[in-house]
Amino acid sequence: MNETRLVAKQLQQKSEDSRLIKEARRALIDYLGCVLQARKEPKVQEFGRLWQQEGGKVNSLLGLHTTPERAALINGFAAHYLDFDDVQANFRGHPSAVIYSALLAIAPPSSQVRQVLQAFIAGVELAGKLGLALNPDHTVQGWHSTATIGTIAATGALCNLANASVDQTTRALSFATSQASGMSFQNGTDAKPLQAGLAARNAVTAFILSQSRGSFTANEDSLQFWGATLGFNETSFSLLGNDWYQPGQINKPGLWFKVHPFCSAALSGYEAAKMLWNKGVRWSDCVQVVVHYPPNGDRALNQQWPQTGQESKFSIEFIIWQVLKFGDVKDADFTARFVDSQFKIDVVKIVRKHDLATTSATKRPTLVETVTRRGIVKQLVVMPLGSPNRPLSSEKLQEKLLMVLPKEKVAALVDLIVKKEAVLQEIYWLIQ
């Protein structure tokens, strides 16, 4: 059975499910907030200038005119730069940073927002199903799913948006597998958001090739062969084409949204530390702090001794230290050139253990155990705020936008995203 072709057939569907469209709207609001937050960062501005020199007519979300591929690259880099963007549990990656970045680089300004939302739903569906087939082994091996699976998922979304034929979609997915790469050892560096940008760019390249009149050829069962190359057997991919949108990967397991710019694998540990602070635990009282995870539950948190703010986004040690010392994290410290010198002294008190039971992808159990002069105080968090089972309110979700846009513009932007007949150009006028 050719699973790639079955997936291509499923990508012909456009979901009309109001629950799925609602989640896609929330993801777009969050995505725009992430990009607009990041576009003031010097590295993001410099990155945009580099590719603006290539010329072109497509407008990236940084307001720079370039080619579709470069626009996707810039959008993806900006969206993932602060690590403020959403996450999907089966995918174990950041769907919006890749999928919306590619869609907004290809979709004409006259496109209806609803069409883009439907294409995003299709992309998340493919990302989640590929994640089910490959993870957790894929990420444990060291692959960055945002870059690998994300390239293929974004390509599928583009094909859905363009109403591509089954043959065109099959070829596009094949071209995508040839470019799907990215490794998690880049966590804490500019190369991590670069991988999100490259995934969006590569999806655009795959899509353009598939649409060419030259009918460029590619292996038509690419997903099976791609999986085999990564070390997975045929059975892993046997259900890719089944049960699409039932109930929908964007809805179950759903998307995680963040209120602070650090890795989502730290969300439960962060919340546990906040609860300990509220119970009266202070860093000055701590003799030792033990952070308990399931096996590989902290895989993405690969910076135990971070030196820079960027590295500290992937350090549960830094996050817990900030909360127990100051009462909360300081978002500005995640972009600082160097971490606080006192942290480098204090970090030796924090150790990790991997002794919690493995659980489903919808849960992220973390137990923070503080050994103080007065005794031991523990706090377990399984489903932190921002997870699908404890979703952010609409008001909380809009806070990223409110940090960079006037309240009136944010309200108008949200109204446009909800409005059925709205077009992309109306959004661009508000954010440029």
Domain that includes residue 111, residue range:
3-252+394-431
246 and 286 together in one domain? no
130 and 32 together in one domain? yes
**Is the model's pLDDT at 238 over the cut of 80?**
no
**Is the model's pLDDT at 231 over the cut of 90?**
no
Q: Mean pLDDT throughout 24-40?
A: 97
189 and 64 together in one domain? yes
Q: Mean pLDDT throughout 205-223?
A: 92
227 and 295 together in one domain? no
Q: Is residue 180 part of a domain?
A: yes
Tell me what pLDDT residue 98 has: 99
Q: Is residue 44 part of a domain?
A: yes
Tell me what pLDDT residue 282 has: 97
118-139 pLDDT, tens digit per residue, is 999 999 999 999 999 998 899 9
Q: Given pLDDT bands bounded at 50, 70 and 90, which one contains residue 270?
A: very high
218 and 272 together in one domain? no
* CATH number of residue 315's parent domain: 3.30.1330.120
- Report the percentage of the chain scoring pLDDT > 70: 98
Q: Is residue 18 part of a domain?
A: yes
168 and 212 together in one domain? yes
Q: Given pLDDT bands bounded at 50, 70 and 90, which one contains residue 53?
A: low
109 and 210 together in one domain? yes
- Report the percentage of the chain scoring pLDDT > 90: 84
26 and 164 together in one domain? yes
107 and 74 together in one domain? yes
* CATH number of residue 404's parent domain: 1.10.4100.10
Tell me what pLDDT residue 351 has: 98
**Is the model's pLDDT at 239 over the cut of 80?**
no
**Boundary (domain end) residue, out of 341, 356, 381:** 381
**Is the model's pLDDT at 36 over the cut of 80?**
yes
Tell me what pLDDT residue 1 has: 63
Tell me what pLDDT residue 233 has: 75
Q: Mean pLDDT throughout 76-82?
A: 97
**Is the model's pLDDT at 54 over the cut of 70?**
no
Question: How many structural domains comprise the chain?
Answer: 2
CA distance 56 to 279: 57
87-108 pLDDT, tens digit per residue, is 999 999 999 999 999 999 999 9
Q: Is residue 53 part of a domain?
A: yes
Q: Given pLDDT bands bounded at 50, 70 and 90, which one contains residue 298?
A: very high
Q: Is residue 388 part of a domain?
A: no
355-401 pLDDT, tens digit per residue, is 999 888 788 999 999 999 899 999 999 999 999 999 999 999 999 99
Q: Given pLDDT bands bounded at 50, 70 and 90, which one contains residue 51?
A: confident
Q: Given pLDDT bands bounded at 50, 70 and 90, which one contains residue 235?
A: low
Tell me what pLDDT residue 400 has: 96
Q: Mean pLDDT throughout 9-21?
A: 96
For the chain, give the mean pLDDT.
Answer: 94
176 and 282 together in one domain? no
Q: Mean pLDDT throughout 225-236?
A: 82
**Is the model's pLDDT at 26 over the cut of 90?**
yes
Q: Is residue 89 part of a domain?
A: yes
Q: Mean pLDDT throughout 271-296?
A: 97
248 and 268 together in one domain? no
Q: Is residue 257 part of a domain?
A: no
Q: Is residue 387 part of a domain?
A: no
321-353 pLDDT, tens digit per residue, is 999 999 999 999 999 889 999 999 999 999 999
**Is the model's pLDDT at 237 over the cut of 80?**
no
Q: Mean pLDDT throughout 236-241?
A: 76
17 and 118 together in one domain? yes
Q: Given pLDDT bands bounded at 50, 70 and 90, which one contains residue 52?
A: confident
